[in-house]
Chain A
Amino acid sequence: MNHMDYKDVMVFCEQRDGRVEKVSKELISKGRQLANELECCVRALVLGHEMKDDLNELIHLGADEVILVDEKELAVYMTEPYTKAMVQVVLDKKPDVILVGASTIGRDLAPRVSARINTGLTADCTKLEVDEETKNLLMTRPAFGGNIMATIICPDHRPQMSTVRPGVMTLAEADTARIGVISKVPVAFETADMNVEILEVVKETKTKVNIEDANILVSGGRGVGKPENMTSLENLATRLGGTVSASRAVVDAGWIDRNNQVGQTGKTVRPDLYFACGISGAIQHLAGMEESEFIVAINKDETAPIFDAADLGIVGDVHKVIPELMKLLPVHEEK
């Protein structure tokens, strides 16, 4: 394989209901940084039908070209048509690097594509860098439940593919003066490509909270004790203008929806303030929140591992400390 044939960074931009997912915008931002180092361009690949978003935003965030495949077969995600469309564009453009958001769509599509084009894929990267000497992509990811970090390379195959979870890379500021092109690429589908049948599409709109987007998270763990006690965490979150999240134990116990779970099997968050209430700090949990700007931990057990990750630790009972804190906090004005 001649690596010289492969250049540029391609970002798969996932859309749902015609809108580009935030993780894809984060990856355009990251892709721009990598492209600057590699001295190449960034291409955004959008697969969908009748997009509602203005795709110029992707250019403002750092893309040089947006490749839009607009076909009715791509309106709703289905593995085979998406794989076919992506593989067609990848074989044509020969990117050096492909970034895909590690959503339930990206984690279905990326492995299928990597197997079809016979290249390596590194999942859930938390850090992407360019090796100064070889120009290989250095893909760092947690393994073993977040216990160790591994830097992965894909030295002899191209493209180098990686997925990145939402919230891991930082969204760049849009530069509305940036210019680029939007190119439409047709893909022809056959009946055989639609190899499964979607019987029903159900959107669960029930208070869809995006804990990844919250600036302040008040997070509860097993130490909260019982479901009713989650209310005081909610009150604190409301007062601070934040959102409630939780550890796996609390989600498994059914006290809060799985959407609010922080950690290895939940979401990766990095708010300005992370309030860990009664969370012991299993490594799987720490993996999802340790990049938070400021971490306050309240726990009865002074040996709890959460204290090693916290900037401020309070050894004490959550249910005594929070009410005292509520007395001192100014009432948050509803905006």
Chain B
Amino acid sequence: MNIIVCIKQVPDTTEVRLDPKTGTLIRDGVPSIINPDDKAGLEAALALKDEHGAHVTVLTMGPPQADKALRESLAMGADRAILLTDRKFAGADTWATSMTLAAAIRNMEYDLIIAGRQAIDGDTAQVGPQIAEKLDIPQVSYVEDIKKDGNSVVVKRVFEDGYHMIKAQMPCLITTLSEMNTARYMSVQGIFDAYREKEVETWTYDNIEVKEEYLGLKGSPTRVKKSFTKSVKAPGKKYDVDPQQAAKIILENLKEKYIID
């Protein structure tokens, strides 16, 4: 079985802080990580490999620095790593990103494609389903559990009010939730191999077949018209008083706002 895991290197947004004076992002020193939903997907692929045997390829589109995320994936146990990087890919929205990734995947053999549900820096949850559409294969998103059953996978697909157990014949694409598992650590030998023995293949525009007009900023239907930090609202009143006093103040405020009689 050939599994392709699509991953994204993201800034750890939980570590990002706003400069209280300027309202701008403080990005310095924010570590880059493998996007959590994607890492769960990689773990799911490696677990399938442990149980049934599989060849696991990790694929990412990004700047050259994304090499680090791929090395980490190799150190966890992935067999092959491909970095799609080219200036022509830059500025892509989800439509153009999925176009690029789908074009790369067409050059590979695959039974199962796994992508994280969404990336923490964009939160769109679009690239996985859009890759599936462009490859014309079925998708199941929001997957919390996966088992292989012959030529199919049986997955637990989560909804707000329950779940479906779904059987999908391969080839198909699933998107995974970070809650589904706890990713394994890199082994010492794995880290050694990832940097000494294994290599990260770099693919550019020349390695894939897709019209240049569909790529990057130029190929993106959506544009960022402007971006801004949220206007800071006037701070409310803050009291540092004893609990009895505090309770009284809260009560007065709730009455004033007609929240209680």
Contacts and interface: CB of A to CB of B under 8 A. Distances in A.
Q: What 3 pairs between A and B have smallest CB-CB spacing?
A: A120-B221, A145-B13, A324-B247
Contacts of B253: 294, 296, 311-312
A90 interface: no
A247 B79 CA distance: 38
Given A200-B165, A203-B161, A273-B254, A283 B221 contact: no
Interface of B: 11, 13-14, 16-18, 20, 25, 93-95, 98, 120-130, 132-134, 138-142, 154, 158-169, 172, 179, 220-230, 232-233, 235-244, 246-251, 253-254, 257, 259-261
A222 interface: no
Interface in A103-127: 103-105, 107-108, 110-112, 114-116, 118-124
A108 B141 contact: yes
B70 to A, nearest CB: 23
Given A143-B122, A196-B168, A294-B257, A120 B133 contact: no
A199 interface: yes
Contacts of B124: 111, 121, 123-124
A210 to B, nearest CB: 9
A283 B247 CA distance: 27
B239 to A, nearest CB: 6
A107 B125 contact: yes
Nearest to B178: A265
B38 to A, nearest CB: 15
A79 B158 CA distance: 14
Contacts of B254: 273
Given A116-B133, A156-B221, A143 B227 contact: yes
Nearest to A79: B139
Contact of A312 (B16, B228, B236): B236
B259 to A, nearest CB: 5
B227 A240 contact: no
Interface in A131-147: 138, 142-145, 147
Contact of B220 (A120, A145, A307): A120
Given A104-B160, A112-B130, A314-B246, A240 B260 contact: yes
Contact of A296 (B139, B226, B250): B250
Contact of A111 (B18, B94, B238, B239): B94
A328 B247 contact: yes
B134 to A, nearest CB: 6
Contacts of B238: 302, 307, 310, 313-315
Interface in A276-332: 282-284, 290, 293-296, 298, 302, 307-317, 320-321, 323-325, 327-330
Contacts of A323: 243
A196 B159 CA distance: 17
| Chain A contact residues: helix, strand, loop or mixed | mixed
A158 to B, nearest CB: 10
A89 interface: no
Given A112-B129, A204-B163, A324 B246 contact: yes
A155 interface: yes
Contacts of B126: 107, 110-111, 114, 121, 123
Given A147-B25, A313-B239, A324-B243, 12 more contacts: A16-B161, A76-B164, A104-B142, A120-B93, A147-B16, A148-B228, A152-B222, A197-B166, A272-B259, A283-B17, A293-B257, A324-B246
| Chain B contact residues: helix, strand, loop or mixed | mixed
A252 B229 CA distance: 28
Nearest to B121: A144
A308 B17 CA distance: 14
B164 A302 contact: no
A165 B211 CA distance: 34
Taking residues whose C-beta sits less than 8 angstroms from the other chain, chain A's interface range is: 35 or more
A218 B139 CA distance: 38
18 contacts: A83-B133, A104-B158, A104-B159, A115-B98, A115-B133, A120-B93, A120-B220, A121-B95, A143-B121, A145-B16, A147-B25, A149-B229, A150-B228, A153-B222, A198-B166, A284-B13, A314-B241, A316-B242
B14 A312 contact: no
Contact of A119 (B221, B228, B232, B240): B221
Interface string A183-202: 00000000000011111111
A77 B78 CA distance: 34
Given A202-B165, A316-B243, A196 B237 contact: no
Nearest to A123: B124
Contact of B260 (A307, A310, A312, A329): A329
Nearest to B138: A195
A259 B225 CA distance: 34
B12 to A, nearest CB: 9
Nearest to A275: B250
Contacts of A124: 123-124
A115 B261 CA distance: 53
Nearest to B95: A120
Given A199-B165, A273-B254, A151 B226 contact: yes
